[in-house]
């Protein structure tokens, strides 16, 4: 999806169209940009940027607080369109997915025609734009989807894969982050063509067998990763950064109760139970720590999750240090909303 969070608000409020819109906290607090419209990006504003810096780059920014439930509902409607076209849909995030249409071309006949149909339906039914990359595998389709945004369509036929990849910087390849990019630059490797000229054994010696093999294969456009329609969720959580530091334990407890209720609601929607609750605390100096509690039996309701989080909070220095961020996460998830009922009080959980 193109600039998804901002695009939803701009669709629903015509007064925002054409204006530099950002989703995030206000600059007078300690807000951070979660998303920026293309009009805002023209000024150098981007996600993860402090709001205070963003407003210096563009004083006319329109700040909108995030509404993640709204985005989630919109995402579900868009993904429903995808699944009407092919059952092989892998969600990467709330606004990005891989679709395997190899055996689901239907009346359209070609993957390019399918891509055009997806763009048409999302535009007509949801009033939003989506950029699509078409390629013989996930690697190529992902890279292609970032070309010609917004509202773009880039098609890379199998016979043109190498010509498409060769001039690109190596950072475009999946698995090449800043550290690997620097290491490759030290070897004189800047483009995919440079990388393709390196022997497989040399890459394995420098980066290890797994990454070395991936670099060698990806530089040749080879990617056998399937589109995975079912991915096991490993955790579910929420966190919040506060515009003013929390200094009172009672106020922190209220926040943990709210977060526990949100996590429990998420577990209920997915019919899951959790064995482990993790508390995240970040102090005013950005020192961050986590504390975990593992239960004897799975839980799924807000009460025990909140009780564990509050108890874990007291095993930190939160009572004596200003707290910038709090978070609660459920992990070790099990399918089914099972929960032990206790005749007397619940036995103590194991603290890690």
Just list the catalytic residues. Answer: 96
DSSP 3-state assignment of 237? strand
Contacts of 160 (CB under 8 A, 6+ apart): none
Contact indicator for 321, 245 with CB cutoff of 8 Å: no
Contact indicator for 266, 335 with CB cutoff of 8 Å: no
DSSP 3-state assignment of 192? helix
Query: For 322, phi and psi rounded to 5 degrees?
Result: -65, 140
Distance CA 47, CA 26 (A): 14
Q: By 3-state DSSP, what share of the chain in percent is helix, strand and coil, each rounded to 5?
A: 40, 25, 35
Distance CA 90, CA 323 (A): 37
Contact indicator for 46, 6 with CB cutoff of 8 Å: no
Tokens matching residue 49: 């940027």
Count other C-beta atoms under 10 Å from residue 233's C-beta: 13
Query: Degrees (nearest 5) of the Cα angle 352, 310, 234?
Result: 55
DSSP one-letter code for 169: B
Tokens matching residue 126: 């949801």
Distance CA 194, CA 212 (A): 14
């Amino acid at each position: 999806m193109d600039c998804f969070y901002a695009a939803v608000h701009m669709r629903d409020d015509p007064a925002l169209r054409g204006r530099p819109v950002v989703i995030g906290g206000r600059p007078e607090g300690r807000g951070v940009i979660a998303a920026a419209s293309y009009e805002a990006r023209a000024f150098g504003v981007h996600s993860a940027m402090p709001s205070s810096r963003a407003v210096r780059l563009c004083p006319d920014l329109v700040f909108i607080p995030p509404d993640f439930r709204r985005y989630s509902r919109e995402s579900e409607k868009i993904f429903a369109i995808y699944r009407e076209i092919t059952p092989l849909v892998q969600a990467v995030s709330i606004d990005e997915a891989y679709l395997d249409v190899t055996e689901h071309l239907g009346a359209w006949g070609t993957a390019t025609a399918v891509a055009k149909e997806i763009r048409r339906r999302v535009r007509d039914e949801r009033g939003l734009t989506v950029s699509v990359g078409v390629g013989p595998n996930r690697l190529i389709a992902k890279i292609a989807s970032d070309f010609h945004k917004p509202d773009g369509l880039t098609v890379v036929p199998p016979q043109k894969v190498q010509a498409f990849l060769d001039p690109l910087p190596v950072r475009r390849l999946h698995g090449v982050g800043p550290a690997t990019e620097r290491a490759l630059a030290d070897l004189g490797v800047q483009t995919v063509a440079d990388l393709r000229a390196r022997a497989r054994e040399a890459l394995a010696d420098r980066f290890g067998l797994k990454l070395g093999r991936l670099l060698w294969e990806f530089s040749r456009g080879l990617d056998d990763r399937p589109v995975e329609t079912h991915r096991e969720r490993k955790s579910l959580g929420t966190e919040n950064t506060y515009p003013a530091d929390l200094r009172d334990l009672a106020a922190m407890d209220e926040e943990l109760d709210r977060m526990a209720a949100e996590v429990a609601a998420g577990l209920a929607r997915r019919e899951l139970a959790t064995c482990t609750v993790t508390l995240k605390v970040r102090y005013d100096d950005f020192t961050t720590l986590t504390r975990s509690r593992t239960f004897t039996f799975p839980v799924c309701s807000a009460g025990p999750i909140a009780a564990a989080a509050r108890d874990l909070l007291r095993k930190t220095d939160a009572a004596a240090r200003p707290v910038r961020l709090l978070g609660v996460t459920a992990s070790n998830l099990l399918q089914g909303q099972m929960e032990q009922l206790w005749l007397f009080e619940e036995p103590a959980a194991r603290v890690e």
